[in-house]
Amino acid sequence: MVARTIMTLAICSVLLIQPLSARELAGEVASDVEFDISGDIGIEQRYFFEEALYPEQLNHHQSSLSVEMELYWQWNDGNDSIIFTPFYRIDSQDDNRTHGDIRELAYIHASDDWELRVGIRKEFWGVTEFQHLVDVINQTDGVEDFDGEDKLGQQMINLSVVNDWGIVDVFLLPGFRERTYAGEDGRLRGPLVVDENNVSYESSAGQQHLDFSLRWAHSIGDYDLGAYWFHGTNREAYLTPSLQDSTPSSLQQYYSQMEQLGVDVQATLGDWLWKFEGIYRTTRLEDFWATQAGFEYSFVGVFDSNLDLGLLMEHSWDSRGEVELGAQGSLMQNDLFLGARLAFNDMQSSELLMGIGSDLDHHAFSVLVEASRRFGDSFIVSFDLRLLQSNEEDDLLNALSNDDHAQLSLAWYF
């Protein structure tokens, strides 16, 4: 059914395109038509420092190859366009991580004070660095990375209207994407594998439930403001053990319906960048509040050099409090994050981000390092380091305590 919905939206996108006239077909007035192809091919090598915690998992080495392309076509002086972004990854160890997705396949029409977008798209909301609470439209592609930054394409009809008092976006979301999880051989998972074939929904419509969202965004002086209401299928699954001979064998997924209110604020005050995200979510099973708030302070040209240094601090809070392993909740219920960002401002676009997170309720912490540098005109080398530590068995992070790893990536952009 999901595949049928995707195909229907793609057909609708094409049908919305204005047909070319005979003169345009003859090439007489088609000078504003522009077609572009770009993309990247990347190879990635992960190395886990410790032996796997669970017997089925890979031990140390994990390699993969990914391809992502972007085909862009615009006409009518750029007022009409189509974008198509397919993605595919082949992984050497984890079958679940070998996967493909249509990140975007959408038709866009822009007018003076409104814009219509129809098809499969990615819509990002959020201002904070270490967690994006308000980002609710797209489903997380959980096998790509641990940080949850990668998203699956979402089918949508989106009307954006520009007013003096802000931009209003209306979203109709016909079709739900289930979250991806590491497989039996994969790392960065708990003791039980999430069963991708054991999925249930609160709504009788299942994956075909029509979700809806309304968002307002506006800039007032130094402040960027956003607020939204979302009604639809919860992007986070409730995971419960599936029993076999009275023994937990895997985790089954249950997706509830939810109402969510979200607010994001960013204030640029001199060298200070203040950030806040907050949500209130209500479901049949629970209601809760959560916030992520902090700042980034920038030193421009440190030591009379080209270097820009940004110092970051954020705190996360979740009203559900401490959540034990196997329960629904967040790893970030009361956590403090400190970080530093270096922009070298060189010809190679070199960047470095370092951060440490500490759980204030448990003896747990995480360390991240992200570095990248361009070589020549077409190659980018990236290095990532993730260290995860917890000594308390009931802590969710303890299940990943053997998954410290480094990752080296090389991408060719064309």
The Cα angle at residue 32 between residues 29 and 37, in degrees rounded to 5 = 130
Tokens representing 272 are 């200070």
Residue type, 390: S
Q: Which domain holds residue 295?
A: 2-413
Sign of the Cα pseudo-torsion (200, 140, 215, 7, in order): negative
CB atoms < 10 A from the CB of 211, how many? 23
pTM of the shown model: 0.88
Q: Which pLDDT score is estimated for 328?
A: 57
Give the residue among 69, 101, 100 at the shortest CA–CA distance from 85: 69
Q: Which pLDDT score is estimated for 241?
A: 93
Q: Which helix (H) or strand (E) holds 200?
A: strand 194-201
Q: Which pLDDT score is estimated for 36?
A: 97
Q: Look-up: residue for tokens 């076999």?
A: 244
pLDDT in 10s for each residue of the chain, 414 residues: 444 444 444 444 444 434 444 334 334 444 578 999 999 999 999 999 999 999 899 999 999 999 999 999 999 999 999 999 999 999 999 999 999 999 999 999 999 999 999 999 999 999 999 999 999 999 999 999 988 899 999 999 999 999 999 999 999 999 999 999 999 999 999 999 999 999 999 999 999 999 999 999 999 999 999 999 999 999 999 999 998 877 888 999 999 999 999 999 999 999 999 999 999 999 999 999 999 999 999 999 998 899 999 999 999 999 988 665 444 566 788 999 999 999 999 999 999 999 999 999 888 899 999 999 999 999 999 999 999 998 877 777 888 989 999 999 999 999
Q: Structurally, how many domains does the chain consist of?
A: 1
Q: Which pLDDT score is estimated for 322?
A: 66
Which domain CATH number covers 237? 2.40.160.10
Q: Which pLDDT score is estimated for 248?
A: 85
Q: Could you give the CA distance from residue 401 to residue 396 in angstroms, rounded to a whole number?
A: 10
Alpha-carbon separation of residue 135 from 60, 125, 150, 151 (angstroms): 33, 5, 12, 10
Q: Could you give the CA distance from residue 62 to residue 91 in angstroms, rounded to a whole number?
A: 7
Q: Which pLDDT score is estimated for 362?
A: 81
Q: Could you give the CA distance from residue 368 to residue 350 in angstroms, rounded to a whole number?
A: 17
Residue type, 387: L
- Contact between 25 and 19 under an 8 Å Cβ cutoff? The reply is no
Q: Which residues pair with 408 in a beta bridge?
A: 45, 383
Give the residue among 397, 278, 291, 282 at the shortest CA–CA distance from 334: 291
